[in-house]
Structure 1
Amino acid sequence: MRIKLQQKEFYQGIQTVRKAVSSKTTLPILSGILLKTEENKLKLVATDLEIGIECYVDTEIIKEGSIVLPAQHFASIIRELPNQEILLSAESSNNTAQIKCGNSQFNIHGSPADEFPLLPEINSKTKFTFEQQKLKQIIEQIKFATSKDENKPFLSGGLLILENKTIKLIATDTYRLAYKEETTNNQKINLTKAIIPNSTLQELTKLLNNEEKEAEIVITDNQILFKFSGISVVSRLIEGQFPNYKQVIPDSSETEVTVDTKELLQATKRAALLAKEDSDIIKINFNAEKLIITSNAPEIGQAYEEVPISLLGQETEIAFNAKYVLEALKVITDEEITIKLSGSLAPGVIETSSEQKYIYVIMPVRSA
């Protein structure tokens, strides 16, 4: 293989796929990145067998070929090279690559490309497109609510539901539940459910662009493929039965409050500064015209915040984990939210009023 390409584009491509490089040493070749010439471009591939990422870089191909290079050292070398043209040569006879750029030259030992596992071909009738910007947003609005409990793998991902012309994404760790619903572009889809690993959701939010270009999504029984902006992400799906989320969302309330999202976020942030010293607990008192947030750090002091509200129903008081409240408020884009409560021991609900429905259910905590 002998190719010429620009350092900046090359490094961007390496960084894109590097997120899927395996950190385990059980299969050493998975700690590398596959480089393969293909149709006037250089294809880069990395996988840990749970998730695989593929992308292409514009390249001048002098001689076709392929090689697997160790990701960590290879990426470090390309990163430190000047933003100039790189000449990369690889010999299949000894699996060694030579990298030249400006006055720099490196020789790096690799592995045969035919030993690198191919990403699976994903073919399915369940295929649809969705705007990248919206897909990125709905993932960000639920991913933080996935569980870290390894004994319940079916909670460690987000449940994707496709039905008629809607896409739903739900996550829960049993202490809170995040639900997001969006309409698709007039695509009628048969009912499909898939649990996407949290690690895949995390990488998608880093790779998806904030633009209106479409992303293609293909789902099989045990895998899902996302294709966008010259990038392909293939991921396994989590097996198991996701809980019935509909039973978790309360269908009535005794107290309903409308409040400015940004004001509540800033007040909660400030109160949370002292809540860290008391198990992250904040108390919220809902009065006729304002809510009052208090937190207490016995060794340090107390915090007190007021936020104006519009209240329907009963006045009430409830305590929450401040972190759980903040994580939801940070990802809500609506100017106002509605908070629904049914006493100090029942779950609280945060909802948006926009047509694109967002619901966040959070369990209260007992406080002294």
Structure 2
Amino acid sequence: MKLTLERSALLTGLSHVQSVVERRNTIPILSNVLMGADGGRLTLVATDLDIEVSESVDASVDAPGQVTAPAHTLYDIVRKLPDGAQVQLTINDDDRLDIDAGPAHFTLPLLPSGDFPKMTADGFTHDFTLPASELSRLIDKTRFAISTEETRYYLNGIYLHSKDGLLRAVATDGHRLALAEQTLPAGSDGMPGVIIPRKTIAELRKLIDGTNADVSVAVSESKIRFTTGTVVLTSKLIDGTFPDYERVIPRTNTKELVLDNKVFASAVDRVQTISAEKSRSVKLSLTDSNLALSVNNPESGQAREDLPVNYDDEALEIGFNAKYLLDVAGQIEGQDATFMLESASSPALVTDSDDDQALFVLMPLRV
């Protein structure tokens, strides 16, 4: 194998695939990136056995071939080469990879390409296309609520499914729930409900960050594939049953609190400064047109801040985790957030004045 390509093209391709590679691997080949050169293209593939990312870039191929090289080391080398450099990749007589760029020369060890695991990508039953901005919105509105508790593995991802003519994304950790939906794209009707793992979501979000291109999505019972431009991400799905989340969305809460979201978030951030690190609880005390945020921590003191709000129901005191409040506030696009409340022990429903296709549920804390 021998080829030459521009440093920025190689760096972009490596940046997309190498982040899948775990820093510590018990299987040496998984630390490597598979490189295949043929027909004026260099194809790069990396995997952790659960996720596979591939990308092809333009290259001047003098001798086709296929090898695997250490992914992170190769990425670091290319990242440190000067802008505009022409990079030559060659397999030398010792079956090692020579990397030449101007006066810089590196040699890396290789492992046989035949040992590199390939993820099968067949059996997809539904294909549809989404603009990257719409897919980003579904991810951003929900991923903060993904559980990190490994024992409840079926909550360790975003549940993507079709519902009543809409494509819906849901995530919950049992303490809060986030839901976002949009018009059902052509080809997705009747798709199986799938749980996309947390790591896959993170990698996908990086791949589509800042682009307005379309993303093709293919779904089967066990895998999902995202394609945008020359990048393809294929991932296994979480094999589990997502809980009946509709049961925890309050539909009959009658006490309406409307507040300026940015003002509220800033106040929560201030008073939570002295909250106990473990619970981060903040008490919301509601009276006519006033919200008092307070924290009482025997070890570090007290804090209170009053805000003018739209509220004209009976007085109510309810507590929430401050971080969870800030997470939800960070997803509110409009000026106002609306809290529908019922009692100190009932979950709160939060909606966005500018987005009627998203909602959030917060479980209260005792304060």
TM-score of the superposed pair, with normalisation by structure 2: 0.94
Deviation at 1:276, TM superposition (A): 4.2
Q: How does 1:42-57 map to 2 (within 5 A)?
A: 42-57=42-57
Shift of 1:231: 1.2
Matches within 5 A, 1:123-202: 123-163=123-163, 165-185=165-185, 189-202=189-202
Question: 1:142 touches 1:180 (CA, 8 Å); kept in 2?
Answer: yes
2: CA distance, partners of 1:204 / 1:276: 35
Give the aligned partner of residue 88 of structure 1.
89
CA–CA distance in structure 2, aligned partners of residues 241 and 123 of structure 1: 20
For 1:235 and 1:174, the matched residues in 2 are separated by: 25
Q: What is the number of residues matched between the two proteins?
A: 366
Cα distance in 1 for partners of 2:164, 2:339 equals 29
Give the Cα–Cα distance (whole angstroms) in 1 for the partners of residues 278 and 18 of structure 2.
Answer: 40
Unaligned stretches of 5+ residues in structure 2 = none
* Equivalent pair of 1:164/1:189 in contact (CA under 8 Å): no
Query: Relative to 1, partners in 2 of residues 1:322 and 1:138: Cα closer, same or farther, differing over 3 Å?
Result: same
Residue number in structure 2 paired with 1:337: 337
CA distance in 2, matches of 1:278, 1:190: 42
CA contact (8 A) 1:164 1:190 kept: no
CA 1:356–1:127: 2 relative to 1, 3 Å: farther
SS at match of 2:150: coil
Aligned residue identity for 2:294: T
Q: Is the 8 A contact 1:348 1:363 kept in 2?
A: yes
Q: Equivalent residue of 2:252, what SS?
A: coil
Aligned-partner residue type, residue 18 of structure 1: Q
Distance in 2, Cα, partners of 1:188 & 1:37: 35
Corresponding residue of 1:209: 209
Are 1:25 and 2:35 counterparts? no
Over residues 59-83 of structure 1, what are the superposed CA-to-partner deviations in whole Å (9 max), with x where a residue is unaligned?
1222211110011222222122222
Supply the distance in 2 between the matched residues of 1:163 and 1:249 (Cα, whole angstroms).
15
Distance between the aligned counterparts of 2:313 and 2:171, measured in 1? 29
Once residues 359 and 326 of structure 1 are traced to their aligned partners in structure 2, the CA distance between those partners, rounded to angstroms, is 15
Letter of the structure 2 residue corresponding to residue 86 of structure 1: V
In structure 2, the CA distance between the partners of 1:147 and 1:181, relative to structure 1 (3 Å rule), is same
Post-superposition offset of 1:109: 0.9
SS in 2 for 1:189: coil
Report the Cα distance in structure 2 between the residues aligned to 1:176 and 1:88, rounded to whole angstroms.
Answer: 50
Following the alignment from structure 1 to structure 2, what is the Cα–Cα distance between the partners of residues 335 and 123?
45
C-alpha contact 2:349 2:360 (8 A) present in aligned 1? yes
The structure-2 alpha-carbon separation of the partners of 1:299 and 1:357, relative to structure 1 and needing over 3 Å to count, comes to same
Partner residue in 2 for 1:247: 247
1:19-64 deviations in Å (ceiling 9; x for gaps): 2113453321011011112442211110011111111222122221
- Distance in 1 between residues matched to 2:71 and 2:276, nearest whole Å: 39
SS at match of 2:330: helix
User: SS in structure 2 opposite 1:17?
Assistant: helix
Q: Runs of 4 or more off by more than 6 Å in structure 1?
A: none
Match of 1:228 in 2: 228
CA distance in structure 1 between the aligned counterparts of 2:348 and 2:239, rounded to whole angstroms? 30
**SS of alignment partner, residue 75 of structure 2:** helix
Q: Report if aligned partners of 1:122, 1:225 keep a CA contact under 8 Å in 2.
A: no
By how many angstroms is 1:250 displaced? Answer: 0.8
CA distance in 2, matches of 1:179, 1:212: 23
Contact 1:95/1:112 (CA < 8 Å) preserved in 2? no
Cα distance in 2 for residues equivalent to 1:111 and 1:356: 52
- CA drift of 1:166 comes to 1.5
Counterpart for residue 315 of structure 1: 315
What's the C-alpha RMSD, in Å, of the aligned pairs?
Answer: 1.9
State the SS of the aligned residue for 2:174. coil
Letter paired with 1:89: T
In 2, the alpha carbon distance for the partners of 1:273 and 1:218 equals 45
Q: Percent identity?
A: 30
Q: CA deviation at 1:206?
A: 1.6
**Counterparts of 1:278 and 1:338, CA distance in 2:** 27
Deviation at 1:256, TM superposition (A): 0.7
Q: Is the 8 A contact 2:156 2:198 kept in 1?
A: yes
Change (3 A) 1:218 1:326: same
8 Å contact 1:283–1:293 — kept in the other structure? yes
In structure 1, distance between residues paired with 2:82 and 2:204 = 29
Contact kept? 1:164, 1:187, Cα under 8 Å: no
CA shift for structure 1 position 189: 1.2
Q: Identify unmatched segments of 5+ residues in structure 1.
A: none
Sort the Cα spacing of 1:185 and 1:237 in 2 relative to 1 into closer, same or farther, 3 A. closer
Q: Given the two structures, how large is their TM-score scaled by the length of structure 1?
A: 0.94
Displacement of 1:224 in angstroms is: 0.3
More displaced 10-residue stretch of structure 1: 295-304 or 11-20: 295-304
